[in-house]
Structures are given as C-alpha cells and as structure tokens.
Chains A and B, each alone.
Chain A
Amino acid sequence: MELLEIDEAAAFDFFAEHDWTDGLPIIPPTPERVAAMLAGADAQEDEILGSVPERKRTVTAGMAAVNAVMAGCRPEYFPIVLTALRAMLDPAWNANGVLTSTGGSATCIIVSGPLAGKIGMNAKSNLFGPGNRANATIGRAARLVARNVIGARTSVQDESCMATPAKYTFCFAEDDPPAPWQSLRQQLGFDAGDTIVCVMASEGPRQLANFTNGTPEGVLRSMLSLITPPGSVIVGKGGQGVVVLGPEHQFIIREQGWSQRDIQEFLVRESRVTKEQIEAAGVLLEKPGDHHYLPIGEDGKYPTFHGPDDILVVTAGGHGAGWSSYIPSFVPAKHSVIVTRRVREAGEALPDCGPDSCEIDISAILAKSVNAGTENV
C-alpha cells in the first residue's frame, strides 16, 4: 500500500479534492490507525477478501482497513466490516453489476448475533437513523471500499441515475425476537451464539404505518401495499426483500400464533400480481423474449418472489404506534442475491483440520510434482 505525506490540518480537503470520500469528512488513514484496525480482526494487510473479475480488481484486508479508518470505524467493528465485504465479493452478489447499475442500489447490511450488542450496534429506536457510531461507520466503510477500491465512483464505474441516501450507509442490527420466534441467524441455519452478516443490494427502506389493525393478516396486508406497487422494479419479477417488524406488529403476529415461516409464505402467496394490476399503473409488459417478468402462473399472476426464502423476517425498531419497514432488493434475484456470512471474531481459533491433512508432508508432494513436470518436458 502506498504512503503519502500530507498536511494534517488539510487532510479532508486533500481527500475530497482527490475524490476519495463520499463527500463527508474522513479520519486520515495513518499507518498506526490502519495497523490497529487490522489487529481488531487479527487480519493481515495482504489477506485477499475477494475479487471483482469483470473489473480485474481485488480487495485486500489492508485496503479495507484504510477505508474503515476513513469511515470512522473502531477496530472492534472490523470483523463485521470484513465479513460484509466478503459477502459483497461473492459472485452471487454480482458486485460489478450491482455497483455499476443505473438502479443506484444501497448496500443493506444486517447484523444478527451477540457481536452486534457487544460493539454497541443499534437494533431499536432510530435504527436506520443517525447517532450510532457502529451502524453508521460499518455501512459507510463498505461503501467507501466499493467506491475507492472497486471503482464505484460517480461517472467512473457507478452509473446510478437517482441512487438513495441509504447509499451513504445502511447497516443495522436485529433485536432478537421472543420465543418461539427465532433470530435471523437461527432461521438461516446458524447457531444462536453465532454472529452473521446478510448483505443485500437494496433500495432504501419503505415505512409501514398501521396503527389500527390488530390481526396478523391485517398488518401483513398493509405490508403488501408497500411490496407490490407495479412501479417498483422487482414486482412480478422474482426479487428479494427484508421485512423489518417493529415491536407492536411483531407482537400482534407472534401472539396470534403465526410463525416467521407463516409470514414468508403469506407474503409470497399474496404478492403475486396480475397483468391488469401492472398495466393499470401505466407499466407496459415487455415482449416475450425480453426476459424480465417471470412466467405467468396457473392463477394468471406473476410472482414477486420465487419462494419464502427470498424474504428475510427481522425484528427491530423502537416502540411506537405501529411502525415497521420493508426493504426491497433493487433488482430481481437473477441479477443479485442476498449473501450471508458468519463473522469470525479476532482471536477465534481456526477449525482443527485433523491429523489426516495436518500430517501431510507438503515437501514430498512438491518434489513429486516437480519431477512429474520434468518428465513431461
């Protein structure tokens, strides 16, 4: 990594003039701060987190640490930053497409697990809003890496037409629900003691207000009004989404015996839309061969989601009259999917690889392959 010498008092001006920030002030990434950030996750500077082969770009832990310092992260946040970046670099997330698209997606990072509480993340009142350093800076660090390392800068390799303020930072924690509901990590097959990160290329959140209906179906039907507007890009096309249930709504649904799976199945079934609904909103269906809408079903409707696993059900938010939120993916799942990774904390031992593999004599294998090469020549 390249070191520069600059005037400390003019550091922000220097970074802004070089187009190395999101427009907000940064913390100068000095060698001491970057080393402390790497130590926060026991990471090595040259450790490769992943690549975007379409752009011939590789992201290292060192460059992630530089940008995490700039974003204002504390070193104890860094295991979550690295995990989010590894998810973003999974080919299924499609970083090249997601970060170039005119759709202008936010990078929605959801953290479920004990590490979120340990580092002080906000899962309650104002969780999408300002005021929590961990939420704000983890999300910002991911976006600064996208911008500075992967090249997602305006009119460089980011062609967003509108984008969203959530693109500055969009990271929050789950507030574990009471039994019998399960945390997000348990719903996805991880242990209660794990911490996981789910990353979705998303739109900004849409807020649900329903203060009057005390039935699960009533609450979820109002949620559907946010899920199925035909002007929304994934409607009828097989997208993904996150339903964030505030305390009042999750209480109504849970206390009346619905499981989280019931919610997913209800929303998948009821979010199917007809051609007439789509066209009545002024959206013209594309021609056969323009493969955007999914095939119409036997019920004469287009599916907005392929199946229940395409909706994450998360409990979070503060007490109030009856607020929840819906976060849609910014494109259908065939272009990008939610990627989940387990966080490896600093100091966590690597899995025991067992005697079989540890006792292999690598030098003997190398010698053999060199000999084989010589014979072929």
Chain B
Amino acid sequence: MAMIQVYRPVHTDPKLPPAPLAPRRHLAGGARIALINNGKPKTTDLLGYIAEAFGRIHPVASVTLHSKPSAGSPLDVPTADRIAAESDFVIAGLGDCGACSSCSLIDAVMMEERGIPGAVVITDPFVDVCARLSDRLGYAGYRPIMIPHPAASRSDEWLRGWADRSVAVLVSQVLPEGSA
C-alpha cells in the first residue's frame, strides 16, 4: 500500500464559540414589534397575522413593517441598527427557499447581536438549513417558527390559522421563560 500526503480540501476553521442570546424582557407596557419582510409572496400578510395573534394575548404598543430590497441578502447594518433601536423584538421571514431562509435567519441573528430578541419564520423543508447555519454562527439550537410548505399559494384563512398556531413558539422565543 503506497501512502501519500494530501491536503484536506474543506474549510477547517474551528467552530465559533456559543454566542449569547439577547436578554428576554417582560414587556408589560406593550411590545414594539418590527416585522422584517423579505418580499416573498404572502409574507406581509403572514407576518402581520402573527403580530395580530400575539396582540390577542399580550399588549402591543406598535407594529412596524420593514421591507428588504432582496430576499437573498440580509439587512444592511444601518437598517439593522435602526430597527434594533426602535423595537422590542423582531419577526423575520418568510424563509421558504434556501437563500431567503438563510438570510432571514441572519436578520434575526443580527438583532440578537444588537440585544434584541429575534424570531424567524421558516417553512418546514428549510428548517434544517437554518439549523446548520445557526450552529455555524454560534447560535446552536436557535428555534424557528415553522409552518408547512408552501405558503405562497395558500388562502388567507390558512395563513391566519398558522399565525395563530405560531404564537406559542414566538412567545417562547422572544419573552422570558415562563411567559406563555
């Protein structure tokens, strides 16, 4: 058996250390919610319904919609800074493809890095890509709000139903433990 030396051809950077989540705070005075819409079909509706559903169980001070110019890129830094300064938590979405799921997850992570809790809405086939990327970025186990795929061709009634079912995960993701 002739042995040779070869270089390992894959990326060998060490895994990043765990990154801390933003603190989860009680928002008794009403939550200022920012919706980060990536422009995928039905996203404006779905994120709005999730915020509405949250408002039925928790005081809401304001809901602001931010639309990204491209679903395939994360927020730019000045916009992320501004959203973080004006909000108590964000809901980013809709991740219903590879690039848009990855970038909506990064939007939520950018908020965590700025001290604001993030939630990301992902359709079921893309939960794994988010899990791998969040692990890579130091946020192992980051929990998405998962809804069935596809969402783009669904009725309003279907979207509202899944918005209602999403609230428990949203609460666990953005409020202190035991808030549910």
Contact = CB atoms under 8 A, between A and B. Distances in A.
User: Which of B8, B13, B40 gathers most chain A CB within 10 Å?
Assistant: B8
Given A11-B6, A157-B129, A291-B39, A55 B136 contact: yes
Interface residues of A, number: 56
B41 interface: yes
A144 B5 contact: no
Given A2-B7, A20-B10, A31-B7, A9 B1 contact: yes
A252 interface: no
Contacts of B67: 289, 291
A57 to B, nearest CB: 6
B72 interface: yes
Contact of A148 (B10, B13, B37, B106): B10
Contacts of A159: 97-99, 101, 126, 129
A334 B98 contact: no
Contact of B6 (A6, A96, A148): A6
A335 B4 contact: no
A9 B4 CA distance: 9
A371 interface: no
B9 A144 contact: yes
B72 A101 contact: yes
Interface of B: 1-13, 16, 37, 39-44, 67, 69-74, 97-99, 101-103, 106, 126, 128-129, 132-133, 136-137
Contact of A97 (B7, B12, B13, B72): B72
A7 B4 CA distance: 6
Contact of A157 (B70, B72, B73, B133): B133
B129 A4 contact: no
A56 interface: yes
Contact of B99 (A6, A63, A96): A96
A292 B40 CA distance: 8
